[in-house]
Amino acid sequence: MTPELGQIALILALGLAALLGTLSLWGAWRQDARWMALARPLAAGQFAFVALAFALLVHAFVVKDFSVAYVAHNANSLLPLPYRVAATWGGHEGSLLLWQLMLAGWTLAVARFSRQLPPDVVARVLGVLGLVGVGFLSFTLLTSNPFDRSLPAPADGRDLNPLLQDPGMVFHPPLLYMGYVGFSVAFAFAIAALISGRLDATWARWTRPWTLAAWAFLTLGILLGSFWAYYELGWGGWWFWDAVENASFMPWLVGTALVHSLSVSEKRDSFKHWTVLLAILAFSLSLLGTFLVRSGVLSSVHAFASDPRRGLFILAFLVVVIGGSLGLYAWRASAVAAPHAADGVHAPRVRFAAWSRESLLLLNNVFLLVTAGTVLLGTLYPLALDAFGLGKISVGPPYFEAVFVPLMVPVLVLMVFGPVVAWQRGSWSQAWQTLRAPALLAVALAGAVAVVARASLGVALGLLLSLWIVLGTLQLLRRRWVAVPGQPTWLARARALPLGLWGMAAAHLGVGVFVAGVTLVKGLEHAQDASLKEGDHVVLAGHDFHFVSLAKGKGANYISARATFEVTRDGRHVATLHPEKRLYLVQRMPMTEAAIDRGFTRDLYVSLGEASPDGAWGVRVQVKPFMGWVWAGCLWMALGGGLAAADRRYRLRARSTRGVAGHPSAANPSAASSPQAPGLLPPPHPVQP
């Protein structure tokens, strides 16, 4: 009975989403307060029903209701409970439902935390989110219903793909989806601005925290996916430039550009059209990612569906959303360009010099976007060629690495200047004065390390870059810290600085740590394959790996061979590792469970291959220096995004920006930014065209 209830809940949610998508937009169009007031309750209702449907699906997994086809396909009576719950999003239908849960959740959050926004803005934003919800809910109901029964019920289920039976499954998909779907809010704000024709610094201030939060979640989601692949796939790789990874990385790149361009829109009332376009692009790439991953176009552990109707539906949805929003952009952007033309006053056009924070952020945006474009090329070209029957090719990591690194280096060099250089017109000598010490220190340290450790040129340059970012960012923090007018305690001083600054600093430091980690692990890692019998040794990078013994083991739904390795260095015991080879019984699938000893300066990684008839095992041992720094860097970035999103200034009621009802005046950009930017010039003068 409960699965049918779930289906009804989904249908009701679709109805509410349709009402939300029509009534509130209509109300905002007619400026009718009664219609607009419906937006919030409708958003809450949509969330309630989607959450109910989701809970019922989880329930079906928990009670092992194998009469539900989706449950039978993705679970088994032997599957432990936490994985049965995670199996809810282990397949196509359930992961779509998770998408919807996230979307409804973000919609509800916008409804809940938008008290300070004008009602017509809220109604439009929620309306657009409702329309997106209609698209996904009808997709689910028409092509991928998770509640379909298969009667008579099978005695037992087919089990979850053993690769997915991992704690990573519990966290990676929800976090990644939070990020993907979170960009729908920025998208909705952008569409709302295009519809209303109102696009000012206040708009950017409303959009920013949502975008930052989505970006932080996406960062965490990608991090967890990579972390999971690192220990689960058993080969010690952590980023493969696989199409599925690229699908999540492209929205991240554009999202990063969006976060930065939003800061210009907010602080300087500039770059606004560009920002709107980026918001549309970021969400479009999220949808494209969903399409690539979920439609079965790509074959991977992430692709479940091979039903062509599904692919077609997502493709059509993609065309409608991207085509529609870009069309709206083309049609409305010029009207939005002169928001006060009706009053006979021209919008101030903000000019900036070649060396200014605006220019630096513009460069950041251009490089990030070009990078996203190159990733898109490498991801879509093989698919397109195949679709047109022109041959099968693949584009491997060498392409992405050859292109990605040179494109990122300028971004990394310039990102230290960005926060130091003044808006509108910066001064070279001032920037140099501020950053001279960190620059010289970075060169000295990187040079010293390169000479002492005899590092290659690549490693030395990578370290130089990392030190430049970390030291430069610390210098910026120090400057701002000293500039805080007399506060008695450290804590008071720290709190006097805006959270947005702390967030930016944390994220930039994270980039520095990440660059150091990638440089060192890529430059200094060692790996060796060996064929070992019990008692054999293999020595790698000063570590002695001793294959002590092998034992048979048994888990809930698998049997295993479990090896014991003792690792010593200079005669001292370092770690005991237990790599495993498992055979999952239901799907008869072998799995390598690597054993990793994580450390601050290195990871030791052992994985088992297969056994030969003479009792020797194929073994891969790896020493990966500073691997943990890669994860730590990403965590810092996500933390930075979270801190910036929590900045109080975004939650303040923007009183000064709201004029007489219906005639909002342009926000004064300097009012918002003056506490944060000491080197700021007076507000820009209107320039007659």
Partner 1 sequence: MKPRHQRLGLVLLGLLSLGVGAWFVLSAFQQNLVFFFTPTQVNQGEAPAAKRFRIGGMVEAGSLKRQPDGLTHSFVVTDMAQRVTVQYKGLLPDLFQEGKGVVAQGRLDADRRFVADEVLAKHDENYMPPEAAHALKQAQAARAQASGAQP
**Interacting residues toward partner 1 by CB under 8 A:** 161, 163, 233-235, 299-301, 351, 353-354, 359, 366, 370, 374, 377-378, 381, 391-396, 398-399, 402-403, 406-407, 529-531, 587-592, 607, 609-610, 612, 616, 618-620
CB of 88 to partner 1, least distance (A): 19
Give 26 or 240: the residue with its C-beta nearer to partner 1: 240
Task: Give Cα 432 to chain centroid, integer Å.
Answer: 34
Q: Give the integer Cα–Cα distance in Å for 482 and 220.
A: 32
**Which amino acid is it at 147?**
F
Q: Which is nearer to partner 1, 419 or 579 (CB)?
A: 579
Query: For residue 617, is it left (φ>0), alpha (ψ between -120 and 50) or beta?
Result: beta
Min separation Cβ 582 and partner 1, Å: 9
Contacts of 415 (CB under 8 A, 6+ apart): 364, 469, 508, 511
CA distance 183 to 205: 15
Cα angle for residues 282, 283, 289 (degrees, 5° grid)? 90
Cis omega (within 30 of 0) on the bond before 152? yes
Would you say 327 or 396 has its CB closer to partner 1? Answer: 396
Burial bucket for residue 10 (CB in 10 Å: 0-12, 13-18, 19+)? buried
Q: In the complex with partner 1, which residue's Cβ is closer, 300 or 601?
A: 300
Closest to partner 1 by CB, 301 or 330: 301
What is the rounded CA–CA span in Å between residue 223 and residue 245? 11
Nearer to partner 1, 359 or 475 (CB): 359
Would you say 301 or 448 has its CB closer to partner 1?
A: 301
Whole-angstrom distance, CA of residue 452 vs CA of residue 447: 9
**Minimum Å distance from CB 6 to partner 1?**
27
Residue 170: CB atoms within 10 Å: 14
Complex with partner 1: residue 302 or 332, whichever CB lies closer? 302
Closest separation in Å from C-beta 165 to partner 1 = 13
CB nearer to partner 1: pick between 267 and 620: 620
Residue 393 vs 661, nearer CB to partner 1: 393
- Least spacing, CB of residue 414 vs partner 1, in Å: 13
Of the pair 156, 386, the CB lying nearest partner 1 is at 386
Least distance between partner 1 and beta carbon 592 (Å) = 6
Q: Least distance from C-beta 126 to partner 1, angstroms?
A: 39
Match 């295009």 to its residue by tokens. 194
Phi/psi for 327 (5° steps) reads: -60, -45
Exposure letters 63-89 (e unless 16+ CB within 10 A, then b):
ebbbebbbbbbbbbeebeeebbbbbbb
Q: Encode burial over 317-353: b for 16+ CB neighbours within 10 A, e otherwise.
A: bbeebbeebeebbeebbeebeebeeeeeeebbebebe
Alpha helices in 544-653 (DSSP H): 627-645
Using CA atoms, how far apart are residues 381 and 394, in angstroms rounded to an integer? Answer: 9
CB of 658 to partner 1, least distance (A): 33
Q: Which phi-psi region, left, alpha or beta, contains residue 615 (left: φ > 0; alpha: ψ -120 to 50)?
A: left
Compare residues 391 and 485 and give the one whose CB is closer to partner 1.
391
CB of 588 to partner 1, least distance (A): 6
Distance between CA 463 and CA 524 in Å, rounded? 13
H or E segment and range at residue 330: helix 324-337
User: Given the complex with partner 1, which of 70 and 147 has the nearer CB atom?
Assistant: 70
Tokens representing 542 are: 């000063």
Q: How far is the CB of 370 from partner 1 (least distance, A)?
A: 6
Unique residue bearing structure tokens 């390598």: 592
**What does 188-238 look like in DSSP terms, one character per residue?**
HHHHHHHHHT--SHHHHHHHHHHHHHHHHHHHHHHHHHHHHHHHHSSS---
Three-point CA angle 525, 531, 533, nearest 5°: 120
Q: How far is the CB of 233 from partner 1 (least distance, A)?
A: 7
Phi/psi for 528 (5° steps) reads -150, 135
Least Å from the CB of residue 530 to partner 1: 7
Residue 394 CB, nearest distance to partner 1 (Å)?
Answer: 5
Which residue, 405 or 646, is less far from partner 1 as judged by CB? 405
Q: Which is nearer to partner 1, 299 or 433 (CB)?
A: 299
Q: List CB contacts of 409: < 8 A, sequence separation 6 or more.
A: 465
Q: How far is the CB of 120 from partner 1 (least distance, A)?
A: 37
Count of Cβ atoms closer than 10 Å to residue 676 Cβ = 18
User: How many Cα neighbours within 13 Å face the side chain of 499?
Assistant: 15
Residue closer to partner 1 (CB basis): 320 or 402: 402
Report, in Å, the least distance between residue 616 CB and partner 1.
Answer: 5
Cβ pair 467, 446 in contact under 8 A: yes
- Which amino acid, residue 495? R
Q: Shortest distance, CB of residue 355 to partner 1, whole angstroms?
A: 8
Determine the 3-state secondary structure of 561 from DSSP. strand
Taking the complex as a whole, how short is the minimal distance between the CB of residue 435 and partner 1, in angstroms?
21
Task: Give the Cα separation of 560 and 581 in Å (integer).
Answer: 5
Looking at beta carbons only, is 4 or 401 nearer to partner 1?
401
